[in-house]
A and B are shown apart, each in its own frame.
Chain A
Amino acid sequence: MGKWSRRAFITAGIAAGGIVVFGVAIRRGDLSPKIAALVADEGDSLFDVWLKIAPDNTITAIIPHAEMGQGVHTALAMMLADELDADWSTMRFIEAPAVGQYANYTLGRGFVMGDADIPGWLVDSVDGFFHTITRAMKLQVTGGSMSVRMTGQIAMRVTGAATRAVLLEAAARQWQVETRELAVRDGRVRHAASGRSATFAELAPAAAELPLPDRPSLKRSDQFRIMGTSPPRWDIPPKVDGSAGFGIDVRLPGMKHAAVMAAPVFGDRVLSVDPSSVQDMPGVRKVVDLGDAVAVVANGYWQARQALNRLDVRFGGSGNENREQGDIFRQFANALDAADSLQTDHESGDADAVLAAADEVVDAEYRVPYLAHATMEPMNCTAWVRDGYCELWTGSQNPLDFAHAAAEALGLETSQVTVHNQYLGGGFGRRAFHDVAVQAARIAGEVPYPVKLLWSREEDTRHDHYRQASVSRFRAALDADGMPRAWHNVYVNKYDPEEAPHIPYAIADQRIAYVESETPVPWGYWRSVDHSLHAFFTESFIDELAHAAGRDPYEYRRELLAGQPRMLAVLDLAAEKAGWGDGLDDNEGRGIAIHRSFGTIVAQVVDVAIFDGKAHCKRVVCAVDPGFAVHRDGLAAQMESGIVYGLTAALYGEISIRRGGVAQSNFHDYRMLRIDEAPDIETHIIDGGGRLGGAGEPGTPPIAPAFANAVFDATGVRIRELPVIHHDLGAAGREAKDVA
């Protein structure tokens, strides 16, 4: 970790007078020549590490995040341009290099090293973020719905505002006037009294010589001119003509291709491999033993693939080869039964005492399976190792970590590894894991030419980092009015974020606890992480309580959210737009759910229809309050995306363990939602004020419970185990069945 000695660039502060502003503290000379060389061209003026102004008046935002369809480049540049009062048509972006100055850690550390007072509207972001960065410091992550919340707020807006201030200062000095006499609009500084004006480019060289102010004022939301609109996303044109460069599309002179197979059983190693079994096959160049995997390098990918299929290799040694999914769920049940090993997650009042004294107790057990990410672009990385230097081309949600990991694998310094990040053909958390980059670097380290390593879909499905399987048990005490007085929830395995199992409802006596129960199945961040399962558990169970009380599930939630106006507003908007009380056909049902994650509140109302014993999701009405929607259409697109992603998992998603490995292999047995099954989706946005929330993840958590609650409404079958496809919702479906 000695690589992190540099002083943070940015600090935060609060100005006197109670106006929320930020400070940028830059020590001149701290901008290393390396950074300038990486991001700036001759004649550019660089402001902090986030912004450069070129002589042709183009303004470039330097963005430390990967584009995986969430529109991050456009949204972050909007935040910078708005504070700068730039002309949007002159804005450009480049993706920041994978060097320490662009690490999230540097951003986060700025808060700690600067004034201790953090503006209230950023406290959640910073706390949540710091929770992560104290555990890992080599992050340049695109994930956690953090880009707008963290980089946008801290780097883009503050740098935009600070740069605007020095541009004004430069104009004032040049024209011998006061800065307060100047106005800025659309990339031009004007002095009304003298009629003088200058473009940013004309002022930038002089402005770059001035110290950036410690405490530039940020705009109020009613002053935004660019934020809150929907400019066309920059990444879309190259995605309609095949020209967008994904990791898989990289082509280098002399490049060869590699196919890889890891041990099918988790934890197994290569026992033996016989390269002679494939060495005479066309195009084959080399067989590489990676210890827990084998790779074949060939002139073409298809040749490598064919040879790998024929390679004589044996794996073993883990002792996991008899593990089955049923064993894992039994292990979880046993762990929950051993109550003395429970760790408290949240506790208020005395839930056990209230339950013991209650007249009516409702209990239920829920279960969810492992899930794979199934990005459309299978894992891949191109590596070139030469002269003590390694270059990687890949789509990464954490390029700095990839560089560290490849360096470690090759015995190099991180400074000897360069990551050329490409468009990501889906991320969803999967591309935060560096396994493929380490494999590629190690294979490339054995050959004198660049190698593109590409996983098959089968490899991608069987060697993911999986959303955890889990079991969650509930008990609730209802009073004479049917309202919950105690909430008791125990579940298996806690990852992140901390608050995922917490409920927003006014229930005084609560106990939420968990038990750790290890399995050999690798875990990974999966869109919305722990929220993806806990929203299903808690929003299904609250629905059960409403029905047990004989109450309308929407009205029941309303009553329990009475003290939370923002949650209530989102819930009401979804119900109103969906026509909550409107009639349905006999084979139809309607369900509702609400969940807050990553600072954003989302409620969804789902209409289902039952045909042939199966549930079809017809329509989703989504209401969302992210505080403020920076890119409105982008937020709507992320809601649509999060809904389809979550609905796919709710309906079909299941990774199961068979003989110590993953039973599923490709889209025929790990099924995806297709266009003929996709619901109509409408999204309604509330700018509720306060802290900015995320966009990429919060759309996912509510859809599974809203869907399952709609299935209950239609059939009387309570879905306590996902995926829904396993449940027969036919004629017998009106009889609620025990699936626990």
Chain B
Amino acid sequence: MITLSINGEGRTLDVDPTTPLLWVLRDYAGLTGTKFGCGIAQCGACTVLIDGTPTRSCVLPAAAAAGRAVTTIEGLNRGRPGLHPLQQAWIDEQVPQCGYCQSGQIMAAAALLNGNPEPDDRAIDVAMSGIICRCGTYTRIRRGIKRAALAIRAEGANEAEDGATGPPGGGTDDG
């Protein structure tokens, strides 16, 4: 048995705690948006946020995530209406092709924008080179990140004027 905080929700699951978090999410928590690609932290399809840090869930024993906030693609825009700015930008730029790697791409991009609201190409390379896309959507991923960054900054400015709280943060704020 293991208890995890997944997308802000406490989940107690009947699974060996040494099982990699990826399989706990997919086969036990029913969250299949996080993908299996390689099993050795080489492709990034399994990327989730753990306390806001992009993490390859295929090599992380679930026990290591206990007591920490796990965010998956399903919880990226939790608590907010509509789509996360990255998801909207991905649609606007028509980024995905087969789509299989895109959960990992979007989660890594969310972590990037949390720490760097205005990333340049170099920062995008550093943050995103861990996630392989076999359809070659890289040029559109780059555009999508820049578009989302603009949208988040604009939203932040509007909300500051309205006296609202900060910009969407990629779901890193769980407790």
Contact A237 B91 (CB under 8 A): yes
Residues of chain A in range 221-242 having any CB-CB distance to chain B below 8 Å: 232-233, 235-242
With a CB–CB cut-off of 8 A, which chain B residues contact A310? none
Contact A376 B16 (CB under 8 A): no
Residues of chain B in range 72-110 having any CB-CB distance to chain A below 8 Å: 72-74, 76, 83, 86-87, 90-91, 94-103, 106
Q: Mark B134-147, 1 if CB is under 8 A from A, else 0.
A: 11111111100000
CA–CA, A96 and B15, complex, Å: 39
With a CB–CB cut-off of 8 A, which chain A residues contact B163? none
Q: Mark B13-32, 1 if CB is under 8 A from A, else 0.
A: 00110011001001110111
Binds A, one of B121-129, B150-158, B165-173: B121-129
Asked whether any CB of chain B lies closer than 8 Å to the CB of A526, the reply is: no
Of chain B, the residue at the smallest CB distance from A672 is B132
Interface size class of A (residues with CB under 8 A): 35 or more
CA–CA, A627 and B141, complex, Å: 29
Contact B19 A374 (CB under 8 A): no
CA–CA, A666 and B45, complex, Å: 14
Query: How close is A302's CB to chain B, nearest CB, in angstroms?
Result: 4
Contact A248 B36 (CB under 8 A): yes
Binds B, one of A111-119, A422-430, A607-615: A422-430
With a CB–CB cut-off of 8 A, which chain A residues contact B16? 282, 302-303
Residue of B28, B106, B129 near A675 (CB, 8 A) is B129
Residues of chain B in range 25-60 having any CB-CB distance to chain A below 8 Å: 26-28, 30-40, 42-43, 45
Residue of A425, A645, A666 near B136 (CB, 8 A) is A645
Contact A675 B138 (CB under 8 A): yes
Of chain B, the residue at the smallest CB distance from A245 is B32
Provided the pairs A69-B98, A302-B23, A454-B36 are in contact, do residues A242 and B91 lie with their beta carbons within 8 angstroms?
Answer: no
Provided the pairs A425-B35, A674-B132 are in contact, do residues A644 and B98 lie with their beta carbons within 8 angstroms?
Answer: no
With a CB–CB cut-off of 8 A, which chain B residues contact A553? none
CA–CA, A239 and B45, complex, Å: 13
With a CB–CB cut-off of 8 A, which chain A residues contact B99? 69, 235-236, 238-239, 244, 246, 423, 425
Asked whether any CB of chain B lies closer than 8 Å to the CB of A301, the reply is: yes
Asked whether any CB of chain A lies closer than 8 Å to the CB of B149, the reply is: no
Residue of B23, B30, B134, B141 near A301 (CB, 8 A) is B23
Asked whether any CB of chain A lies closer than 8 Å to the CB of B133, the reply is: yes
With a CB–CB cut-off of 8 A, which chain A residues contact B132? 376, 667, 672, 674
Binds B, one of A493-501, A572-580, A676-684: A676-684
CA–CA, A673 and B136, complex, Å: 8
With a CB–CB cut-off of 8 A, which chain B residues contact A134? none
Contact A640 B37 (CB under 8 A): no
With a CB–CB cut-off of 8 A, which chain B residues contact A32? none
CA–CA, A692 and B141, complex, Å: 29
Contact A675 B45 (CB under 8 A): no
Contact B73 A242 (CB under 8 A): yes
Do most interface residues of chain A lie in helix, strand or loop, or is the interface mixed? loop
Contact A666 B32 (CB under 8 A): no
Query: How close is A19's CB to chain B, nearest CB, in angstroms?
Result: 36
Contact A637 B34 (CB under 8 A): no
Residue of B31, B97, B129, B131 near A641 (CB, 8 A) is B97
CA–CA, A676 and B38, complex, Å: 20
Q: Mark A53-79, 1 if CB is under 8 A from B, else 0.
A: 000000000000000111100000000
CA–CA, A237 and B128, complex, Å: 21
Contact A378 B94 (CB under 8 A): no
Q: Mark A701-726, 1 if CB is under 8 A from B, else 0.
A: 00000000000000000000000000
Contact A425 B38 (CB under 8 A): no
CA–CA, A668 and B129, complex, Å: 14
CA–CA, A251 and B31, complex, Å: 11
Provided the pairs A242-B72, A248-B36, A633-B94 are in contact, do residues A640 and B100 lie with their beta carbons within 8 angstroms?
Answer: no
Q: Mark A589-616, 1 if CB is under 8 A from B, else 0.
A: 0000000000000000000000000000
Contact A641 B135 (CB under 8 A): yes
Asked whether any CB of chain B lies closer than 8 Å to the CB of A205, the reply is: no
Contact A457 B37 (CB under 8 A): yes
CA–CA, A483 and B4, complex, Å: 71
Query: How close is B26's CB to chain A, nearest CB, in angstroms?
Result: 8
Do most interface residues of chain B lie in helix, strand or loop, or is the interface mixed? loop
Contact A644 B138 (CB under 8 A): yes
Asked whether any CB of chain B lies closer than 8 Å to the CB of A257, the reply is: yes
Provided the pairs A301-B23, A302-B20, A672-B134 are in contact, do residues A377 and B129 lie with their beta carbons within 8 angstroms?
Answer: no
Contact B94 A376 (CB under 8 A): no
CA–CA, A240 and B19, complex, Å: 27
With a CB–CB cut-off of 8 A, which chain A residues contact B37? 376-378, 457, 667
Contact A240 B96 (CB under 8 A): yes
Contact A251 B32 (CB under 8 A): yes
CA–CA, A68 and B100, complex, Å: 9
Asked whether any CB of chain B lies closer than 8 Å to the CB of A300, the reply is: yes
Of chain A, the residue at the smallest CB distance from B37 is A376
Contact B42 A666 (CB under 8 A): yes
Asked whether any CB of chain B lies closer than 8 Å to the CB of A249, the reply is: yes
Query: How close is B154's CB to chain A, nearest CB, in angstroms?
Result: 20
CA–CA, A375 and B76, complex, Å: 25
With a CB–CB cut-off of 8 A, which chain A residues contact B106? 240
Asked whether any CB of chain B lies closer than 8 Å to the CB of A279, the reply is: no
Contact A644 B102 (CB under 8 A): no
Asked whether any CB of chain B lies closer than 8 Å to the CB of A243, the reply is: yes
Contact B129 A643 (CB under 8 A): no
Contact A236 B91 (CB under 8 A): yes
Residue of B73, B100, B130 near A425 (CB, 8 A) is B100
CA–CA, A240 and B99, complex, Å: 8
Query: How close is A603's CB to chain B, nearest CB, in angstroms?
Result: 18
Residue of A70, A251, A457, A680 near B97 (CB, 8 A) is A70
Asked whether any CB of chain B lies closer than 8 Å to the CB of A656, the reply is: no
Of chain A, the residue at the smallest CB distance from B74 is A242
CA–CA, A674 and B125, complex, Å: 9
Of chain B, the residue at the smallest CB distance from A238 is B99
Query: How close is B60's CB to chain A, nearest CB, in angstroms?
Result: 13
Contact B42 A668 (CB under 8 A): yes
Of chain A, the residue at the smallest CB distance from B16 is A282
CA–CA, A242 and B16, complex, Å: 25
With a CB–CB cut-off of 8 A, which chain B residues contact A640? 136-137, 139-140
Of chain B, the residue at the smallest CB distance from A68 is B98
Of chain B, the residue at the smallest CB distance from A423 is B99
CA–CA, A539 and B104, complex, Å: 37
Contact B98 A427 (CB under 8 A): yes
Contact B133 A376 (CB under 8 A): yes
Residue of A242, A300, A426 near B98 (CB, 8 A) is A426
CA–CA, A246 and B4, complex, Å: 26
Query: How close is B87's CB to chain A, nearest CB, in angstroms?
Result: 4
CA–CA, A280 and B102, complex, Å: 38
Residue of B26, B40, B73, B98 near A241 (CB, 8 A) is B73
Residue of B34, B124, B134, B142 near A645 (CB, 8 A) is B134
CA–CA, A347 and B99, complex, Å: 45
Residue of B35, B86, B135, B139 near A680 (CB, 8 A) is B139
Of chain B, the residue at the smallest CB distance from A665 is B40
28 sample A-B contacts, Cβ–Cβ < 8 Å, listed by A number? A232-B91, A233-B94, A236-B90, A238-B99, A240-B87, A240-B90, A240-B91, A240-B102, A242-B33, A246-B99, A248-B32, A300-B15, A302-B20, A376-B45, A377-B98, A424-B98, A633-B94, A641-B137, A644-B135, A645-B135, A648-B134, A666-B40, A667-B37, A673-B136, A673-B138, A675-B142, A676-B126, A678-B138
18 extra interchain contacts, Cβ-Cβ under 8 A, other than A425-B35, A641-B97, A667-B38?
A: A69-B135, A237-B91, A246-B99, A246-B100, A257-B27, A300-B19, A301-B23, A302-B19, A302-B27, A376-B132, A425-B99, A426-B135, A457-B43, A640-B137, A644-B138, A645-B135, A666-B38, A676-B128
The 7 closest A-B pairs by CB, nearest first: A242-B33, A644-B136, A69-B97, A239-B99, A425-B100, A69-B98, A242-B73
